[in-house]
Amino acid sequence: MFHNYKFKNLDIKLIFAVIALTIVGIFVIGSANESNQQKQIIGMILGIIVMGVMTFIDYDFILHFHWIFYALVIALLISVLLFGSESGGATRWIELGVRFQPSELGKILLILFFSWFLMIHEEDINQPKVLILTLVLSAFPLFLIEKEPDLSTTIVTMMIICVMMFVVGLSYKIVSIVLGITIPSIVILLILITREGQTILKEYQGIRIMAWLKPEKYPQNSYQQQNSIMAIGSGQLLGKGLGNDAFDSVKNGNYISEPHTDFIFAVAGEELGFIGSVLVIILIFFITIEILLIAKNAKDTAGKLICVGMATLVGFQSFVNICVVTGLMPNTGLPLPFVSYGLTSLVTIYFGIGIVLNVGLQSNNKNGRLF
């Protein structure tokens, strides 16, 4: 089972960075909501065990179950819509003794499926028939995630698939056409949303965007982001300290709802200051780059695509989360990888990192091209 493994290639730096970022998250979660800190510690322990197991399971063997992964994603997402529990106007969870969010696991399983699918179509990825098939296979799970509704996870999952397609050899001409249509469409969409009575987006989605564009006109909907920005700024250089009881703390005043999940970076900014915030960003950046370096030396296209998919998940989702918390994007409701509270999110991303480490164990150590 280990005949192709080069144990000297085990990426210890990546393992330490992932664990270090998780530990930072545990401390900040404990400060934001102490009752959830113990659960996150259990999640980290489970995640490390899962990562350790997946590190030594040949990813070639795992990819033999590609269609099972795809079918499982579809079945889980349909189950959410049929039997899921609702919270905050969205149905994203299934109660299985513990609360489980299938879309988080779905992102990892779709990375595995499309790593196999795009590998076998590497030579004909730009053929219309293959492009249409790829779009159809992508559209079904994306549609189900959006119906929960979970537009932010839909966008992240779509971005992961698009980046994987680009890496495998999608024509620059097609990319240019897509960007040429998408960018003006977003501008037109923003213009249309600002009009009264728009029906393009669901009401809450439209209000979120309007609250971002014109926070002074929608104070009841923009307070979360505005208070988040205030919290980060108030931390200054060194922060107010974890678990502080400062009377002027935005967190202590409960001015940020659910600070241990989507807005965890605001708590980090307030309590760890600029230095702590930069540390979180540096760790995320390091993890993303380290995964891409493993992709560069992967023995085959499937291994490269697994790593690229995981790097996009960590990097892009973190970018969106931090942009939301700092007011650069509308509120989307995405967790910050490894930092936000959430056992499903934490364990599944450790699962993905374990597979990345296995790709590294089988790397050819040649300075190949990533793109």
Q: Which among 75, 63, 197, 189 has a CA at the least distance from the CA of 141?
A: 75
User: What percentage of the chain carries pLDDT values higher than 70?
Assistant: 88
- According to the model, what pLDDT value does residue 8 have? 87
Residue 237 has pLDDT above 80, yes or no: yes
135-174 pLDDT per residue, tens: 999 999 999 998 887 888 999 999 999 999 999 999 988 8
Closest CA to 139 of 108, 170, 114, 176: 114
Instruction: Say what the pLDDT of residue 113 is.
Output: 98
pLDDT (average), residues 68-90: 86
| Gyration radius of the chain's alpha carbons | 21
Tokens 């900040």 belong to residue: 28
The pTM of this model reads 0.90
- SS3 (DSSP) at 369: coil
Phi-psi region of 254 (alpha: psi -120 to 50; beta: other; left: phi over 0): left
pLDDT digits (tens, 9 = 90+) for 24-49: 999 999 988 888 899 999 999 999 99
Question: Tell me: the pLDDT tens digits for 321-344?
Answer: 999 999 888 887 789 999 999 899
- Rounded CA separation 364/242 (Å): 44
What is the average pLDDT across 182-201? 71
Answer left, alpha or beta for residue 252, where phi above 0 means left and psi between -120 and 50 means alpha.
Answer: alpha
- Alpha-helical (H) ranges within the chain are 12-32, 37-55, 59-62, 66-83, 102-120, 128-146, 151-168, 172-193, 203-213, 219-234, 264-296, 301-325, 343-361
**Centroid of chain to Cα 208:** 20
Q: How much is the pLDDT for 67?
A: 97
Q: What are the extents of the domains in the chain?
A: 9-361
